Amino acid sequence: MRTGHSHLFIPGPTNIPEPVRQAMNVPMQDMRAADFGDLTLGLFADMKSVLRTEKGRVMFFPGSGTGAWEAAITNTLSPGDKVLMARHGQFSSLWVEMAKRLGLDVVVVDVPWGAGTPVKEFSRLLGQDREDAIKAVFVTHNETATGVTSDIAAVRRALDENFHDALLFVDGVSSVGSLDFRMDEWEVDLIVTGSQKGLMLPAGLGILGVSEKALEASRSARSRRAYFEFDDMLKMNADGYFPYTPPTQLFHGLRKSLDRIRAEGLEQVIARHHRLAEGVRRGVAAWELSLVAEHHTLYSDTVSAIRVPADVDARDVLRIAYADFNTSFGSGLGPLAGKVFRIGHLGDLNDGMCLAALSIAEMALYRAGVPIRLGSGVGAAQAWYATQADLRPMLRVAAE
């Protein structure tokens, strides 16, 4: 018998706010009803705000973010097309694998796990590509496995400085709705995300932002596709409908999530993620442990991947946290297994929750044999949070 609530600090799926959960707990309704668009049409508009695009189109595919990756590729590229990608973590590696399976000719740049997107190398390769053979550049905005946030604006500059017109694909699964992302300003052509991270919903929606240029590319792309066909989706979406049965309950949840983001303010949401993440990082520093991210400019505000001492198995930390303290942290993936545990700090969180995470992590580290002073990380985070609270907007009691 576990008592009390579970403590969920994985980097997604994230904690679902109560009002979002209640919004989803509704009876089934007719997705062909005359007024179904009253629910759905506003979602497209408000999702565009979160992506910071006015010109792009938004699509919601029933599926995971991985499905949305596939939708982005198959609608805009053809087998044999050359694309430029980096591998610097589990998710960027999986994306490379998918691109290959779908028949693309992938130019892979491998950099260490912990590094960001190798913008200089990308720039060099784009500069060499005189005939624009590279049809698309793929960037993982936030590599969830390593807690590394890459600089999308820099990649855009690399394209522009090389007068290269490749499409710019961005994996924003663990960044959209949490980190600063600007589709129009950075001229992103395909931004892919999912419902289960910054949008604070269960998994089940693969979400795409698609630029006019990407839509144009979709008219000639020859990859086979059916389920993920943009055309079918756009035609039906015009009136708020879908080409197959959509996950209506998730739409109700998304309505509430987008309302919450608007009520807090996207800028404030991003600032809050930074504030909470910084507290966690100060805690990690107090423990004298290091992050996987190679440099402070790469630190992710949605997830921290923390190295444990070499003589400790990070899996013990995870196991103790789960079994003894009803708490889930993220595991080390791929080559980081056993060396790293991750604290997800994105979505619907507050200071107290992050302090709970740190205090439990301390106990788990302690019990796993890491020589840590109990309370040290918490204290460092508190010193940050306790002096930051006045930066937050005053309490609006009636807000929710």
Annotated binding site for substrate, which residues? 342
* The amino acid at 44: F
Over 102-157, what HEC string results?
Answer: CCCEEEEEECCECECCCHHHHHHHHHHCCCCCEEEEEEECEECCCCEECCHHHHHH
| Residue carrying structure tokens 């590319």 | 217
| Residue carrying structure tokens 């080390």 | 332
Least separation in angstroms between CB 135 and its own copies: 17
User: Which residue number, 186 or 251, has a Cβ lying nearer to its own copies?
Assistant: 251
User: Which residue number, 89 or 246, has a Cβ lying nearer to its own copies?
Assistant: 246
Which residues, 6 or more positions from 246, have their beta carbon under 8 angstroms from its beta carbon?
31, 40, 60, 62
Taking the C-alpha atoms of residue 178 and residue 187, their distance in angstroms, rounded to an integer, is: 19
Which residues, 6 or more positions from 253, have their beta carbon under 8 angstroms from its beta carbon?
16, 20, 21, 23, 24, 195, 201, 202
- Could you list the residues known to form a binding site, using ranges: 342
Which residues, 6 or more positions from 346, have their beta carbon under 8 angstroms from its beta carbon?
11, 12, 14, 174, 178, 197, 198, 273, 301, 302, 303
Task: Point out which residues pair with 137 in neighbouring strands.
Answer: 84, 168
Least separation in angstroms between CB 355 and its own copies: 4
Least separation in angstroms between CB 267 and its own copies: 12
Least separation in angstroms between CB 186 and its own copies: 26
| Residue carrying structure tokens 């690399």 | 158
Least separation in angstroms between CB 22 and its own copies: 5
Taking the C-alpha atoms of residue 73 and residue 218, their distance in angstroms, rounded to an integer, is: 9
User: Which residue number, 45 or 323, has a Cβ lying nearer to its own copies?
Assistant: 323
Can you give the length of the chain in residues?
400
User: Which residue number, 189 or 351, has a Cβ lying nearer to its own copies?
Assistant: 351
Q: Structure tokens of 346?
A: 């994105």
Least separation in angstroms between CB 36 and its own copies: 10
User: Which residue number, 238 or 263, has a Cβ lying nearer to its own copies?
Assistant: 263
User: Which residue number, 210 or 370, has a Cβ lying nearer to its own copies?
Assistant: 370
Least separation in angstroms between CB 122 and its own copies: 23
| 3-class DSSP assignment, residue 181 | coil
Q: Structure tokens of 312?
A: 């400790």
User: Which residue number, 310 or 394, has a Cβ lying nearer to its own copies?
Assistant: 394
